[in-house]
């Protein structure tokens, strides 16, 4: 029951960011959004910082679950190509919105939020030091293509046309091709 309530609170907080005019995540607004009293919400998240850290972890955990689903395995079992391919697929095929962007971009201002994203997504984006430079460049280019698409789609600022998604995916897949020795 407590886990269900916590999830409902975290989703309600994200819904505040999705509101028509954009809303701020506060203890009061979140409690009202999910039908709790402020003390009822504070039983689960005693401070705004605790709530925000949990919201960031919730969003990053959703990304991590999507990455595992797309890769078919956890990051530590996947090759660099498989990890970046999963990341590109998630960024280009899943639905994201300004709430996702707001939570992600907030990490630039708070070390604890940054640490959460690094803990959850770092294993997916890390590349081995011994990767040949041309291969590393292609993997980084594919990831940055995905980042750009995701940012434009999530913010709604200059998003790519829907018909261009398949072409972008094809370019990314070309970058992600694993070359075999002759």
The single residue listed with the structure tokens 């998240």 is 45
> What percent of the chain has pLDDT above 70?
95
Residue-wise pLDDT tens digits, 53-70? 999 999 999 999 999 999
Confidence (pTM): 0.90
pLDDT of residue 22: 63
Helices 133-155 and 98-106 sit at what angle, rounded to 10 degrees? 120
Handedness of CA 144, 91, 14, 113 (dihedral sign): negative
């Amino acid at each position: 029951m407590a886990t269900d309530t916590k999830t409902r609170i975290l989703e309600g907080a994200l819904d505040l960011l999705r509101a028509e005019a954009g809303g701020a995540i506060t203890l009061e607004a979140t409690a009202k959004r999910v039908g709790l009293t402020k003390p009822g919400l504070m039983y689960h998240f005693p401070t705004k910082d605790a709530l925000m850290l949990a919201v960031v972890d919730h969003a990053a955990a959703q990304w991590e679950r999507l990455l595992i689903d797309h890769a078919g395995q956890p990051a530590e079992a996947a090759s660099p190509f498989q990890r970046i391919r999963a990341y590109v697929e998630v960024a280009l095929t899943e639905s994201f919105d300004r709430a996702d962007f707001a939570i992600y971009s907030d990490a630039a201002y708070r070390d604890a939020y940054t640490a959460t994203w690094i803990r959850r997504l770092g294993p997916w984006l890390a590349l081995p030091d011994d990767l040949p430079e041309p291969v590393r460049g292609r993997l980084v280019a594919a990831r940055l293509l995905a980042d750009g698409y995701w940012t434009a789609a999530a913010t709604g600022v200059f998003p790519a046309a829907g018909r261009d998604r398949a072409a972008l995916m094809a370019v990314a897949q070309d970058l992600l091709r694993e070359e075999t020795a002759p």
